[in-house]
Amino acid sequence: MSATSPLDDQTILVTGGTGSFGKAFIRKALSEHNPRKIIVFSRDELKQWEMRQSDPIFDHSNIRYFLGDVRDKERLMRAFRGVDLVVHAAALKQVPAAEYNPTEFIKTNIHGAMNIIDAAIDRGVKRVIALSTDKAANPINLYGATKLCSDKLFVSGNAYVGESGHPRFAVVRYGNVLGSRGSIIPRWRTMIANGETNLTVTDERMTRFWISIDQAVEFVVSNFSRMRGGEVFVPKIPSMNIMDLAKAIGPDANITVTGIRPGEKLHELMIGEDDARHSIEYDTHYVIAAETELGSDMASYETMRDLGGKALEPGFSYASDTNSEWLNVEQLQALIEDLGL
């Protein structure tokens, strides 16, 4: 266990705690750190029961399972009593579903974010990290737009904490998670296992950022230590081409191109040129600093630069198609095998 862990002796609440990220975060917290208590906050009793039965670690004496919805502020107020740290991982995130059900995504991803912020301030939570997505940068779909709103809300939430100086709110933005629920990899693997000889891709030019679930969890944990309030943290991660991924999973499969779906981008973006003007580069990550006026000891462009960050070149953007780091077919195959996907 880490002696300097930001999770040690803390009561941690994870919204969306039964999801891919939530389970991975909780597993790591209990196996490598020493939290006082972890609260799994989610709205599906069956998923909570299945999670508890799936592994002895999820029946740990320090876990509490709390049914609730981020849309319900009163329930959040109850759940946040005595909580030190919050990881906000709950979201509706399927792009096609968002295009057809926009109001539901707004209620969960935007109104839910507002409720998290209000409850955290009213209950005196110390730190909150909200998970974002590359689709929130220059969004073209409803899901990305709701997550951009959420990001803005969490950054601006730091301006309302008052004299107490807490909570501090920050955002972590990353790309597609290898093997997460709804990922293309498990679907393709199942098709190949069932004898399918044809895989469908929407466009052979498509590129995406990729990160493993363990890397995503570690990035969130590390940012609890480094956050000052108001940052959007972006990890430096590799890109991959969709055709290389298809070849890694089904080397002998035929590829059918079906065309880009509504709301889908050809390439993803994590830092656009406009955000880059107030972003700072570090060895392992970037920080998009808040443009709004926050507390004097919170994150700002000047503060981040003074802490050893490097200003980005004019016209810089961090996009999946112009990334300097790539995963080829062999690396993707090794990564998929290592992760047991």
- The catalytic residues are 135
Give the pairing type, strands 85-88 and 11-15.
parallel
Give the CA distances from residue 341 to residues 221, 243, 331, in Å, rounded to whole numbers and listed in that order.
24, 18, 14
**Can you give the length of the chain in residues?**
341
User: In 3-state terms, what secondary structure has residue 223?
Assistant: helix
DSSP assignment of 3-17, as one string?
TT-TTTT-EEEEETT
* Structure tokens that stand for 188 in this block: 């393709």
- First-to-last alpha carbon distance for the chain, in angstroms, is 28
E-state strands within 237-327: 239-241, 254-257, 269-271, 279-281, 285-288, 310-311, 318-319
